[in-house]
Amino acid sequence: MTARPVRRPAAAVASLSLLALVSAGLSACESGTALPGIGDAVDEPSSSASTPATERPRLKVNVGRGATEVPVDTVLSVRAQHAVLESVSVTSPAGDVEGRLSEDAGTWEAAERLEPGATYTVRSEGRTAAGEPVQRTARFSTADLSLAEQTYASIAPLDGETVGVGMPVVVTFDVPVTDRAEFERHMHVESTPRQRGTWHWISDTEAHWRPRTYWRAGTEVHVDLDVNGVSAGGGVYGQHDREIDFSVGDAHVYRVDARTHQMQVFSNGELLRTLPVTTGKAGFETRNGVKVIIEKFDEKRMNSETVGIAAGSAEAYDIDDVQWAMRLTYSGEFIHAAPWSVGSQGSANVSHGCTGMSTADAGWLYAMTRRGDVVETVGTQGDDMTLTNGYGDWNVSFQEYRRGSAL
């Protein structure tokens, strides 16, 4: 796990002085502010003293000159009155702010939000219909934020990863997001070919996105979390934008039937092999439903105490080197090699809930399996899979899943 990026406070804001206006008869005006640090600050070009104030060309910025404690979710804008804008630059040691001019050159709007504890300089230039230049320079500073006031998003899959057709996009936040709707408006998933999908909030710290049906094999997916500076509610803001790209590999679907004690292995709709398996015995039944491979281990220690079976009991176990283990649930279900139960595989269910098979079969399956591959289990006497026990996103209808969106 990589360390979480840490923001350092920017230097204190320098005191500001108003620029002297060069031509005789000029005046500068600045309106009051409705919110701390927010308002219209304007400059005026050379003009006749007889020109009515309402007709004088102005460049108006929505943050007052010299303002402090400006919220980081402020979207800067510059508006020209009786003039057109020619250029706007917003610079800061924390990073420059890009933006775009409107088609009529009447307004400029920032394409990104602000950084905390930073000093910004806004320089705007324009021109009147008569060709007179209009200029404005202003500086302001933003409110500083502690780490507890910023939430950082982690994304699965990893950037550049190739996954199975059941892999949801999983976003986790290290500080809770209470304004889910505002955040979700800035969380985007695009795919080629395009597949309709939706977000579903598991909690204030976790959101998933899945398409209506399993991903199509070969799909390319782009995830864009444009959340830097976005209000997460309760005085918390997004800490960084995040973007990743991942690919969807072959459509691997493994169908386990606990009644026949077999697993059918499909790739892109073709049945490759049918493997003899064993699933959970009475009292330890394997869950029915759609599961997704969460992670893989060449070798893993499995201890019964981690799933609530007391050490020293008749059902206790502690095996250091279980081979070819593929996790299906957070509660402890795996597919893995089980050489101790080969005599029951294909004929009886004798495990503590995992799907066991021979070492050779498990190694073959492990080699072709990716995170996100699908395991569909039927025929057990156990509980049904839930949405939150692993990547359980496929165990509810798309309509029900969509109700978990904040929008």
CB 353 within 8 A of CB 258: no
What is the model's pTM? 0.83
What are 273's strand-pairing partners? Answer: 265
**Whole-Å CA distances, 336 to 195, 279, 293, 354:** 33, 11, 12, 8
The percentage of residues in the chain with a pLDDT greater than 70, rounded to a whole number, is: 87
Task: State mean pLDDT over 200-208.
Answer: 98
Single-letter code of the amino acid located at 237: Y
Phi, psi of 81 (to 5 degrees): -120, 125
**Whole-Å CA distances, 83 to 41, 128, 133, 140, 288:** 16, 4, 9, 24, 68
Task: State mean pLDDT over 168-180.
Answer: 98
Point out the residues that are catalytic.
336, 354
- Residue 124: which of 113, 111, 109, 112 has the closest Cα? 109
Specify the fold of 252-395.
L,D-transpeptidase catalytic domain-like (2.40.440)
- Domain boundary assignment for the chain: 30-141, 147-249, 252-395
Task: State mean pLDDT over 52-78.
Answer: 90
Query: Is residue 402 very low, low, confident or very high in pLDDT (cuts 50, 70, 90)?
Result: very high
Specify the fold of 30-141.
Immunoglobulin-like (2.60.40)
Query: Is residue 32 very low, low, confident or very high in pLDDT (cuts 50, 70, 90)?
Result: very low
Query: Is residue 30 very low, low, confident or very high in pLDDT (cuts 50, 70, 90)?
Result: very low
Task: State mean pLDDT over 254-279.
Answer: 98
Query: Is residue 56 very low, low, confident or very high in pLDDT (cuts 50, 70, 90)?
Result: confident
**Sign, Cα dihedral of 284, 285, 287, 291:** positive
- Taking 90 as the threshold, does the pLDDT of residue 8 lie above it? no
- Taking 80 as the threshold, does the pLDDT of residue 26 lie above it? no
Task: State mean pLDDT over 211-221.
Answer: 98
Q: How far, in Å, CA of 288 to CA of 210, rounded?
A: 20
Q: Tell me if domain 30-141 and domain 252-395 are identical in fold.
A: no
Domain 147-249 has CATH 2.60.40.3710: yes
The percentage of residues in the chain with a pLDDT greater than 90, rounded to a whole number, is: 83
pLDDT at res. 2 = 40
pLDDT at res. 378 = 98
Task: State mean pLDDT over 316-341.
Answer: 96
